[in-house]
Chains A and B, each alone.
Chain A
Amino acid sequence: MNLKVDQVVKKLTAASGRDRTRMMDVVRGVQAELGCVSGEAMEAIARELGCERVEVEGVVSFYAFLSKQPKGKAVIRISDCVVCRMKGADKVTEAFEQALGIRVGETTADGQIGLERTACIGLCDQGPAALVNDVPVTYLSTEKVSEIVDSLTATGEPKKLVKTLGEGKNATERIHSMVINNVRKKGEVIFAGMEPGAALRKAAGMSPQEVIREVKTARLRGRGGAGFPAGMKWEFCRKAAGERKFVICNADEGEPGTFKDRVILTECPELLIEGMAIAGYAIGAEQGIIYLRGEYDYLRAHLEFSMAQMHEKGLLGDGIAGKKGFAFDIRIQMGAGAYVCGEESALIQSCEGQRGSPRDRPPFPVEVGYLNMPTVVNNVETFCCAARIVEKGAGWFAELGSKDSTGTKLFSVSGDCSLPGVYELPFGLTISEFLETVGGRDAIAVQVGGPSGTCVNPEMFDRRICFEDLGTGGSMIVFGPQRSLLDAASQFMDFFVEESCGWCVPCRVGNVLIKERLDRIRQGKGQAEDLDYLEQLCETVKRCSRCGLGQTSPNPVQTTLKHFREHYTQRLVESKDGLQPTFDLTAALGDAVEAQGREPVFHED
């Protein structure tokens, strides 16, 4: 037995209390220390946690940042996001391949540097971007590639890549990152600044029911994308029976083009923490979890520091805001690269140390959630809004925004606009107003709500951004006249194919079929009936899939088919003789010509 593996596993399992539900921390730790989770490590983990090896293997094989085979000491993960590709990620990838002498997916012969693609890492406004281990590198160019490779070869130390620091708290010792916040517009709710503890002290003077009533009166809707009324969720959870309850913050923003939570976590984590503690007070929970996406690992020390400071100030822990019995504490659960974990039940599975496969719903997490106890899962921004509502009052909040979408919304703006970044704007503005603000007047399309949202055409630019019209979790990708929307849709489908958890057939298989048929059309081999096929298939996948991923994954194709049909019809061909343009007889005979050693003969009758 390899002593080192055994030691590392024993150390890490002991640190997590030999608790099976903390498997994620163990496998992440093993990956970080040993460069992979080998079969031997899996055996050891299973032994220490008292579970079967297959459970460990199930977890390791599920997450993109975990691997059974050793990866390079430094792994360069280039963001494969549509926006990063608009900004030249493909050229950067090629440059890395050349500089390292390896292909994507390989590791240099000395085992030092690995090269991979990864799904959107939330740096679309400063792309092309990549992660080198947990260090984000932004504004990549072919010139920067050789600098990065040289530095990594010389030092083997990703942290040394950080030469200039971003603004605000990105420059602190604990974050120490080149990432910039790019906050273009500060609104009244999130970025207005709040005296620490103001919301908690206010909440402590209210009853839990009053807190819930306040959030309900403010008509706060969840900021993650679905827009479910937060107060109602809290009330359901408060009423649900359970010996313990939990509050989970979904900081797994993985929708391509979304990065607003990153800025909240960087600049105002205290607001989030107050919001979570208030939610705990309202529903009767004393424990919270921040589920932080693996891509944001560089923010973990900063978040832990913020929590420690809140503890010192009496705003976290026991007797919050001086109120006896108001107790709340938070732990951070790191993810490991899985978009589907942004779905609340998959996120809970992941927090319990399982594969991030969504659960059947109902029962909903408010009744049967984390450790089968009633659990509220809300987006980062939702908790922040809740804290401000308690502080400033429901009336103040409800005045902002539109009738059914109150308050301000953070937008992550990227793509073909002159001012990409984060904007805090009231709900209800039109797409035209939005484009004017972000410098995207030439836009031919806007992807509202990321790939699982809607792609809107210029005729729809007078539509309003709010849940009663065009809902969004904040991702806004602007497409200029030079872009091919079909290429973008195809890249979005690649993303969903990659991120499908594989549990249900419509999503696992259907998305692949949608992508294949779309690519047929892109290659100029599609026919009119392929559009009918795509429409039917999109509907089937949406209707039959088990969770939100499959229920929305056909949207890039379905909404462009609806709003940009001419982009498809332009590329169609008509087969007058009834032959399929996709069938290439010469290619199909290629293997036989080699194996049978003669050219085909075409007999005439």
Chain B
Amino acid sequence: MTKPKIASTSLCGCFGCHMSILDIDDRILKLVELVEFDKSPINDIKRFTDRCLVGLIEGGCANQENVKVLREFRSHCDVLVSVGDCATMGGIPAMRNGIPLKECLAEAYLDGPTVHNETGRVPHDEELPLILDKVYPCHEVVKIDYHLPGCPPPADAIWEAVVALLNNKPLDLPYELLKYD
């Protein structure tokens, strides 16, 4: 029997959620027995090679590239999980949402006290993705099936969630793994 495939990505996040995935420690050996990783920063596969059962999304959508990747995940994965607070709510990057984008870019590249920018322009190279007007949580861009809260979610929560999904069982996380107050 072929193993189910899993993919992951970090959009506008800090890779902290992926670090938390690695915190499952030796269970990573079990994980490798259970699944095969497709597109993911963990194995550095850049493009989907096949349809996946589960896609784990870290980070929200802050730029055009994030939207493109997220939409790819939606079309290649049966189940999408928003992992962590940036994917779920926008998180720290969404702190800019109260400030118009033009003001953000002007502060960063034109008017800020430490800015030295002889071109007098905001960077506009085609290789740089355009920035969205605000940071969007993933579920506002594509349909998301599950949300796993936390900054980052504990390794145990991620592990339990993935195992439950793979076994098609309900997830029963103890309160300690979900409380953030």
Residues of A in contact with B (beta carbons under 8 Å apart) = 575, 577-580, 582-583, 585, 587-598, 600-601, 603, 605
- Do A575 and B143 have beta carbons less than 8 Å apart? yes
Q: B75 at the A/B interface (Cβ < 8 Å)?
A: yes
Shortest beta-carbon distance from A597 to chain B in Å: 5
Interchain CB contact under 8 A, B75 and A578: yes
Apart from A582-B140, A594-B102, A597-B121, 10 more pairs, CB < 8 Å: A578-B74, A578-B80, A578-B142, A583-B67, A585-B67, A588-B132, A588-B133, A591-B102, A592-B130, A603-B68
A591 to chain B, nearest CB (A): 4
Number of interface residues of B (CB under 8 A): 29
Q: Which residues of B contact A583 (CB under 8 A)?
A: 67, 136, 140-142
* Proximity string of chain B (124-144) to chain A, C-beta cutoff 8 Å, 1 when within and 0 when not: 101000111110100111110
Q: Is the CB of A595 within 8 A of B122?
A: yes
Roughly how many angstroms separate A595 CA and B75 CA in the complex, as a whole number? Answer: 31
Evaluate contact between A596 and B132: CB separation under 8 angstroms: no
C-alpha spacing A580/B136, complex, angstroms: 12
**How would residues 17 to 33 of chain B score, 1 for a CB under 8 Å from any chain A CB and 0 otherwise?**
00000000000000000
14 A-B Cβ contacts within 8 A? A578-B143, A580-B142, A588-B132, A589-B64, A589-B130, A592-B133, A594-B102, A595-B101, A596-B122, A597-B122, A598-B130, A601-B126, A603-B68, A605-B47
Q: Which residues of A contact B68 (CB under 8 A)?
A: 603
B100, A591: Cβ atoms closer than 8 Å: yes
Known: A594-B102, A598-B124, A605-B47. A580 touches B133 (CB 8 A): no
Q: Given the known inter-chain contacts A597-B122, A597-B124, please indicate yes or no for A591 contacting B133, CB distance below 8 A.
A: yes
When distances are taken between beta carbons in the complex, the residues of chain A under 8 Å from B105 are: 595-596
Task: Flag whether B71 is at the interface (Cβ < 8 A).
Answer: yes
Answer yes or no: B123 CB below 8 A from chain A CBs. yes
Contact flags B97-116 to A (C-beta < 8 A → 1, else 0): 00011100110000000000
**B74, B102, B132 — most chain A CB neighbours (10 Å):** B132
Query: Nearest chain B CB to A118's CB is how many angstroms away?
Result: 29
Residues in B neighbouring A600, C-beta threshold 8 A:
64, 130
List of A residues within 8 angstroms of B64 by Cβ: 585, 589, 600
Residue ID in chain B nearest A585 by CB atoms: B67
Q: How far is the CA of A591 from the CA of B133 in the complex (A)?
A: 6
CA distance in complex: A578, B79 (Å): 11
- Measured CB to CB, the closest approach of chain A to B110, in angstroms, equals 10
Q: How far is the CB of A19 from chain B (nearest CB, A)?
A: 42
CB distance from B152 to the nearest CB of A (A): 25
User: Which residues from chain B contact A595 at a C-beta distance below 8 Å?
Assistant: 101-102, 105-106, 122, 131
Q: Are B122 and A580 in contact (CB under 8 A)?
A: no
Q: Give the docked Cα–Cα distance between A575 and B143 (Å).
A: 9
B75 cross-chain contacts in A, Cβ below 8 A: 577-578
Specify which chain B residues have a CB less than 8 angstroms from the CB of A605 in the assembled complex.
47
Q: A591-B101, A605-B47 are known contacts. Are A596 and B142 too (CB-CB below 8 A)? A: no
B169 to chain A, nearest CB (A): 23
Pick from A577, A579, A594, A605 the residue with the most CB of B within 10 Å. A579
Residues of B within 8 A of A593 (CB): 130
**Which residues of B from 53 to 101 have beta carbons under 8 Å from A?**
64, 67-68, 71, 74-75, 80, 100-101
Question: Which partner residue on chain A sits nearest B123 by CB separation?
Answer: A596
A-B residue pairs, 9 tightest by C-beta: A592-B130, A591-B101, A578-B143, A578-B74, A596-B124, A588-B132, A591-B133, A595-B102, A592-B131
Q: How far is the CB of B33 from chain A (nearest CB, A)?
A: 30
B40 CB to closest chain A CB (Å) equals 17
The residue on A at minimum CB distance from B132 is A588
The complex places the Cα of A595 from the Cα of B103 at a distance, in Å, of 9
Complex contact B126–A598 (CB within 8 A): yes
Residues of chain A within 8 A (CB-CB) of B140 are: 580, 582-583
| In contact, B130 and A596 (Cβ under 8 angstroms) | yes
Chain B nearest CB: distance from A536 CB in Å? 15
Q: Which residues of B contact A592 (CB under 8 A)?
A: 101, 130-133
Choose one: B130, B132, B143; the contact of A580 (CB below 8 Å). B143
Residues on B with C-beta less than 8 A from A590 are 133
Q: Distance in Å from the Cβ of A516 to the closest Cβ of chain B? A: 12
Identify the closest chain A residue to B47 (Cβ).
Answer: A605
Are B139 and A580 touching (Cβ within 8 A)?
yes
**In the complex, what distance in Å separates the CA atom of A583 from the CA atom of B126?**
23
CB distance from A180 to the nearest CB of B (A): 49
* B141 with A579: CB separation less than 8 A: yes
Using Cβ atoms and an 8 Å threshold, which residues of chain A touch B131?
A: 591-592, 595-596
What's the Cα separation between A594 and B141 when bound, in Å?
A: 22
In the assembled complex, the Cα of A593 lies from the Cα of B64 at a distance in Å of 11
Rounded to whole Å, the gap between the CB of A353 and the closest CB of chain B is 35
